[in-house]
Amino acid sequence: MSIKIEECVICDNALTEYDETAKRFLDLPEDINVKRCRQCGLRWLYPMMSVEEYSELYKLSYFDEIPQDYEKVVVQRLRHYRERIKKILKYFNNRKIRLLDVGAATGEFVNEARKTGIDATGIEPSLKACQRAKERYGIDLIQGDFLVLDINERFDVIHMHHVFEHFLEPGKCLERVRDLLNDNGLFVLEVPNQFDNIYMDLRILKRKPFSVYSIHHPYFYNPNAITTLLIRYGFEVENLKTWKSYLKGKSRRIPGSEYFFHYIVLFLADLLLKRGLFIEVYATKNGRRKK
Ligand SMILES: [Zn+2]
């Protein structure tokens, strides 16, 4: 934990404060804090790991021991992925498109996209996850680091599902996305709305015991921060939602179930306040980088 970021990387200002609630929620060790920008609301770990420390952390944990509930999470995500793929196709009027999934994990999104005729490929740093994608779907993901890999082609869509919040250098990541997108390209991403959501407001979320996963996200975005950041790097935000939409199907079928309560709370929180649990953004590559 060696890097101390004093100024907000989005607003370049030093109007920051410690967020004790976020620190308690993540159950961080004494010497790690959460800082928050008072202008855009971006939060980050303070101090933050260096690139070297971070890659060591990944070698130690993540996909080398695929979490037990991972399969359950994947099944939940499939419905969500299918809805998203439909939206992407609609955006391009169903024409043939080339898509890159960054942080492709075990290949589910690439597989679903290919089923619809999209020319999809993925990048994934974990060798274990790549092997699993091959075994399961016959997909050859590109193994490596998105920021340094040699990629000699352009894409119509770049997709990141719960990946962007893992980048230590968000600006560098967005520059890479811009470089790899075609001129009319679309950047589709989802990140957690980890602290500025209705569940935190209502104190419904349970505090997490500290684990390595507590420090896997160096940055914590909210709708305002992610929008400001994307605009700064020349993107235009077409659509932003904070609704955990894959709960929708279940709630419709079983009104009165535990899902129904969550459905209503999240629906209203997104609609009125943009305070759902996740942030899903569709942004187009447009204009020039603003400094
Ligand atoms: Zn800021």
Could you tell me the distance, in angstroms and rounded to a whole number, from the CA of residue 36 to the centre of ligand 1? Answer: 8
| CATH, domain range 51-195+209-285 | 3.40.50.150
Q: What is the mean pLDDT of residues 167-176?
A: 96
Residue 10 CA to ligand 1 centre (angstroms): 5
CA of 11 to the centre of ligand 1 (A): 4
Whose tokens are 């935000």? That residue is 237
pLDDT given for residue 249 in this prediction: 46
Residue with tokens 């999240």: 266
Q: How confident is the model at residue 257 (pLDDT cuts 50, 70, 90)?
A: low
How many A from CA of 13 to the centre of ligand 1? 7
Mean pLDDT (the chain) is 86
Question: 47 CA distance to ligand 1 centroid (A)?
Answer: 17
Question: What percent of the chain has a predicted confidence (pLDDT) above 90?
Answer: 60
Q: Under a CB-based contact definition with an 8 Å cutoff, are residues 266 and 277 in contact? A: yes
**CA–CA separation, 79 and 86 (whole Å):** 11
- Residue 114 Cα, ligand 1 centroid: separation in angstroms? 38
Distance 171 CA to ligand 1 centre (A): 13
Is the separation of the CB atoms in 186 and 88 below 8 Å? yes
- Least confident window among 80-94, 112-126, 212-226: 212-226
- For the chain, give the secondary structure using H, E and C: CCECCCCCCCCCCCCEEECHHHHHHHCCCCCCEEEEECCCCCEEEECECCHHHHHHHHHHCHHHHCCCCHHHHHHHHHHHHHHHHHHHHHHCCCCCCEEEEECCCCCHHHHHHHHCCCEEEEEECCHHHHHHHHHHHCCCCEECCCCCCCCCCCEEEEEEECCHHHCCCHHHHHHHHHHHEEEEEEEEEEEECCCCCHHHHCCCCCCCCCCHHHHCCCEECCHHHHHHHHHHCCEEEEEEECCCHHHHHHHHHCCCCHHHHHHHHHHHHHHHHCCCCEEEEEEEECCCCCC
> What separation in Å is there between the alpha carbon of 275 and the centre of ligand 1?
18
**Does the pLDDT of residue 247 top 80, yes or no?**
no
The pLDDT of 107-122, averaged and rounded, is 97
Give the pLDDT of residue 29: 87
**What pLDDT is recorded for position 254?**
46
* 232 CA distance to ligand 1 middle (Å): 12
Say if residue 251's pLDDT is above 50.
Answer: no
Q: 16: CA distance to ligand 1 center in Å?
A: 8
β-pair partners for 220: 43
Tell me how far the alpha carbon of residue 214 lies from the centroid of ligand 1, in angstroms.
22
Q: What is the rounded distance in angstroms from the CA atom of residue 16 to the CA atom of residue 9?
A: 11
What are the structural domain ranges in the chain?
51-195+209-285
Report the pLDDT averaged over residues 91-113. Answer: 96
Question: For residue 109, what pLDDT band results from cuts at 50, 70 and 90?
Answer: very high
CA of 7 to the centre of ligand 1 (A): 8
Q: What is the mean pLDDT of residues 154-158?
A: 98
39 Cα to the center of ligand 1, angstroms: 5
In percent, how much of the chain has pLDDT > 70?
Answer: 84
Residue 57 or 219, more confident: 219
Six token digits for residue 63: 């996909």
CA of 112 to the centre of ligand 1 (A): 36
- Over 60: is that where the pLDDT of 229 sits? yes
CA of 202 to the centre of ligand 1 (A): 24
> What whole-number distance in Å separates Cα of residue 270 and Cα of residue 240?
10
Of residues 95 and 68, the one with the higher pLDDT is 95
Answer for the pair 205, 275: CB distance below 8 angstroms, yes or no: no
Entry field: residues in the chain: 291
